[in-house]
Amino acid sequence: MDSPGHTAQYCSYTFMEYDTKTILHIITMDKRVTEKKKAHIRESLLCSGLAISSGQGTSYCEVVTDAHVQVASVMKKDFPDIRHSFDIWHGTKNLGKKIIKAGQQKSQKAILSWTKDVVNHYLYTASISSTKEEFVGNWIGILHHTVNVHTWVLPYSDINECNHGPLTEERTKGWLEKDSPAHVALREIVLDKRLQNNVPYYLNCRSTAELENFQNVVNAYASKHHSYNPPLYRCRNRLVALDYNHHINRNVLVKKDGATQYQRSYNKKSGRWAVHPVKEKQNFPYIPSLQEKILLSRVTDEVGMNQPVVLEVDDPRRLSSHLTPVPPLSLNSLLSSRSEGFYNKKETIDMS
């Protein structure tokens, strides 16, 4: 439940296999488990998920997450043998923000026309580099390319030229002037120490875009506009995993001539249209099996539904009945204070 003005109650942590995009498992946690501190939920779920998988015989060679500092710290400290990579989209997004911010100054405005090119170069460099040194050598080349210099000499790198082919004479974008304010601003961004220290996290050029699609399915089963108790929320998330895994490999529809069918979609955030292949209609053959098991469990249950409900051992409601940092007052106390406040306010009104 993520209502406006309040922090989220639950966090769902999903483990997806990178190549097949199959959901391995999904863990949910109430923030009451972490002393009502939302910032600690990510690390707790990550450690719990990796521990569960390891106990089931699953071994990890690499874990891909978003660029979260605390998660990176946990991976480095508790799981040093597992390679940790960041989603390349987060790297390019942060880079684009820095360039746009630098271009807000009038003397550096020329850098804005190179935003897309610099971001694409960062993505390309990550895709062709296998070491930090190789990445830095290719990455710094953008400082020379933007001033129309395509060969250079660096004492710490063997890379000394651009990888592109011959440039056409027809250009709509001007070059930057060497050592101009815009070029100096770009140099500071490209040579930023923190950016270069994070290079190892992007060398494999990984993406978690499929997880964003999965989260859309989660919102369909567990809307943020409704409140669920912990067991129900956990159950709904597991249903999402069943749904997603069953439909992940649906076939793409084709026309009579054998061509792939596409559909258009509009992204409000980017303001652009996109096309996507149309897949087969969803089907849910596993639902009758679930219904059968539910029915059998009720028929064979000797306790019955009229007995008092006992909370599970790990139910967060055992820790606290509320989510707020301040315990709620009684209803009578709140009504009394509300009435007193109303009359005090009324007495201060000037009737003259």
Domain ranges of the chain: 88-166+173-201
Residue indicated by tokens 């979609």: 265
How confident is the model at residue 6, as a pLDDT?
Answer: 54
Distance CA 148, CA 180 (A): 14
CA distance 221 to 210: 18
Contact 59, 69 (CB under 8 A): no
Q: Give me the pLDDT at residue 34, please.
A: 82
Buried b (16+ CB within 10 A) or exposed e, 132-163: bebbbbbbbbbbbbbeeeeeeeeeebebeebe
Task: Quote the pTM value.
Answer: 0.79
How far from each other are the two terminal CA atoms of the chain, in whole angstroms?
Answer: 49
pLDDT digits (tens), the chain, 352 positions:
555 555 678 888 899 999 999 998 898 888 888 877 777 888 888 888 888 877 777 788 999 998 888 889 999 998 999 999 999 998 999 999 999 999 999 999 999 999 999 999 999 999 999 899 899 888 999 999 999 888 888 777 778 888 888 777 666 778 999 999 999 999 999 999 999 999 999 999 999 988 888 988 888 898 888 888 889 999 999 999 999 999 999 999 999 898 999 999 888 877 889 898 999 999 999 999 999 999 999 888 887 777 787 888 888 888 888 777 778 888 888 888 776 655 554 455 454 4
